């Protein structure tokens, strides 16, 4: 194991899949020597055609609602794509999700809790964990946001500038995680044994509380109307509670989500 860990830390050819996504962008900042591959450069549903010493596998089908009506395509990316990464034979980090849990617990989910995904997306990500095999770090995180790409923070900033009020669900609780913090934690993970690790921001909130914090920190005057998941009526079911914590003593500890939000806004709203 020591040998594998040392090799991963000093890996020469580091690949980042999903380089066009928000986590991919953060990983490329944290690992400046890595080669980033966008979907155009490698569609992971196709077999690999190159070699690598370490892969940070951030490519995924992340359209949670869209997966409900296109389960085969979602599985082709999240399960088949992960099998293809495993075929490279290099150690890799597979990024998984809090949506592998059903949300019926009312205290933080730890690695030994049994998954029971509610949605197609959650099921494909869980099957992707199995496809990752034994020589992989499975980094489960939650509610990702960053200064690029599609995410809740950027959506709320855009809506908050246009409207006096936004309706946001207040009956789902999780830990919004800044991709910059997850990228730093990913580096720490490489010094730890393979297996499942919960790697999410400290603290928790509902989406409505998160929206209020975004407006507060950004100085935007917009009210948050608290609604239920049922009122929003999205196609994919989501866990009502999906706070992740690690039960493993060596696990990377991430800053509080509010700290992540401030760092993200400092990039999005330079003075
Ligand atoms: N977002 C969250 O809240 C969240 C929470 C927990 C875990 N995760 C996991 O974290 C990882 C990164 O998520 P993210 O938020 O960075 O997602 P993202 O911004 O949607 O990025 C995913 C990237 O994967 C690419 N991709 C999709 N299909 C592909 C394919 N067939 N071949 C190659 N690339 C493909 C996408 O390209 P296109 O833009 O061209 O589609 C996109 O650039 C994923 O594994 C996700 O499941 C995300």
Is any ligand 1 atom within 6 A of the Cβ of residue 18? yes
Q: Is the CB of 141 under 6 A from ligand 1?
A: yes
**Per-residue model confidence (pLDDT) at position 82:** 98
Summarised one tens digit per residue, pLDDT across range 10-42 is: 668 999 999 999 999 999 999 999 999 999 999
Exposure b/e, 131-157, CB count within 10 A at least 16 = b: bbeeebbbbbbbbbbbbbbebbbbebb
The pLDDT tens digits for 213-264 are 999 999 999 999 999 999 999 999 999 999 999 999 999 999 999 999 999 9
Please give the angle made by the CA atoms of 85, 87 and 91, to the nearest 5 degrees: 65
Specify the CATH class of 2-151+174-203+242-256 in words: alpha beta
Q: Is the pLDDT of residue 3 over 70?
A: no
Helix (H) or strand (E) holding 10: none
Residue to probe by mutation, ligand 1, list 19, 45, 60, 196, most atoms within 8 Å of CB = 60
Residue 192 has pLDDT above 90, yes or no: yes
Listed in sequence order, the residues at least 6 apart from 249 whose beta carbon sits closer than 8 Å to its beta carbon are: none
Residues in CB range of 30: below 8 A, 6 or more apart: 180, 183, 184, 186, 187
Residue 257's closest CA among 155, 130, 152? 152
Q: Is 121 a catalytic residue?
A: yes
Q: Is 100 in the pocket of ligand 1 (CB under 6 A)?
A: no
Confidence band of 9 (pLDDT split at 50, 70, 90): low
Catalytic residue among 99, 109, 121, 241: 121
Residues 65-74 pLDDT 10s: 999 999 999 9
Residue 128 Cβ inside 6 Å of ligand 1? The answer reads: no
- pLDDT band at residue 50 under the 50/70/90 scheme: confident
Give the whole-angstrom CA distance, residue 78 versus residue 126: 9
In 3D space, the residue among 132, 88, 121, 255 whose CA is nearest the CA of residue 183 turns out to be: 255
What is the per-residue pLDDT across 195-204, written as a single tens digit (0 to 9) for each?
999 999 999 9
Closest CA to 16 of 90, 74, 127: 90
Atom in ligand 1 nearest the alpha carbon of residue 77: 31
Instruction: Specify the residue with its C-alpha closest to ligand 1, atom 12.
Output: 58
Ligand 1 pocket, residue 177 CB under 6 Å: no
Residue having the nearest C-alpha atom to atom 18 of ligand 1: 21
Whole-number Å distance, alpha carbon 3 to ligand 1 midpoint, is 31
- In the reported structure, the alpha carbon of residue 51 is separated from the centroid of ligand 1 by a whole-number distance in angstroms of 22
For residue 170, what pLDDT is reported? 98
For residue 124, how far is its CA from the centre of ligand 1 (angstroms)? Answer: 13
What distance in angstroms lies between residue 18's CA and the mean position of ligand 1's atoms? 6
Summarised one tens digit per residue, pLDDT across range 100-140 is 999 999 899 999 999 999 999 999 999 999 999 999 999 99
Distance 90 CA to ligand 1 centre (A): 20
131 in ligand 1 pocket by Cβ < 6 Å? no
What's residue 12's pLDDT?
82
Q: Are 252 and 245 in contact (CB under 8 A)?
A: no
* Separation CA 204–CA 176 (nearest Å): 7
Query: What pLDDT does 20 receive?
Result: 95
What is the rounded average pLDDT of the residues 54-67? 98
Percent pLDDT > 90 in the chain is 93
142 lines ligand 1 (CB under 6 A): yes
Residue extents of the structural domains in the chain: 2-151+174-203+242-256
Which DSSP helix (H) or strand (E) runs through 243?
none
The answer to whether 64 and 119 are in contact (CB under 8 A) is yes
Tokens 């992960």: give the residue: 82
**Bridge partners of 109?**
244
């Amino acid at each position: 194991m020591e040998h594998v860990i040392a090799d991963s830390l000093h890996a020469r050819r580091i690949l980042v899949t999903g380089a066009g996504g928000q986590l991919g962008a953060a990983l490329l900042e944290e690992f400046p020597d890595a080669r980033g591959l966008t979907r155009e450069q490698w569609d992971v549903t196709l077999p690999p055609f190159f070699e690598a010493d370490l892969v940070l596998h951030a490519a995924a089908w992340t359209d949670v609602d869209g997966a409900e009506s296109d389960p085969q395509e979602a599985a082709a990316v999240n399960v088949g794509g992960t099998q293809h990464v495993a075929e490279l034979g290099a150690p890799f980090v597979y990024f998984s999700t809090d949506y592998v849990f059903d949300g019926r617990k009312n205290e933080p989910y730890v690695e030994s809790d049994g998954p029971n995904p509610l949605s197609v997306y959650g099921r494909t990500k869980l099957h992707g964990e199995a496809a990752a095999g034994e020589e992989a770090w499975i980094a489960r995180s939650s509610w990702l946001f960053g200064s690029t790409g599609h995410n809740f923070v950027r959506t709320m900033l855009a809506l908050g500038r246009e409207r006096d009020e936004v309706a946001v669900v207040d009956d789902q609780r999780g830990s919004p995680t800044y991709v910059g913090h997850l990228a730093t934690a990913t580096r720490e993970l490489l010094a730890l044994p393979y297996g499942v690790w919960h790697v999410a921001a400290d603290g928790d909130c509902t989406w409505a509380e998160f929206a209020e914090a975004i407006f507060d920190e950004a100085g935007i005057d917009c009210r948050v109307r608290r609604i239920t998941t049922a009122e929003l009526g999205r196609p994919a079911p989501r866990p009502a509670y999906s706070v992740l914590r690690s039960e493993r003593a060596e696990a990377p500890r991430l800053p509080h989500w509010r700290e992540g939000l401030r760092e993200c806004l400092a990039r999005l709203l330079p003075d």
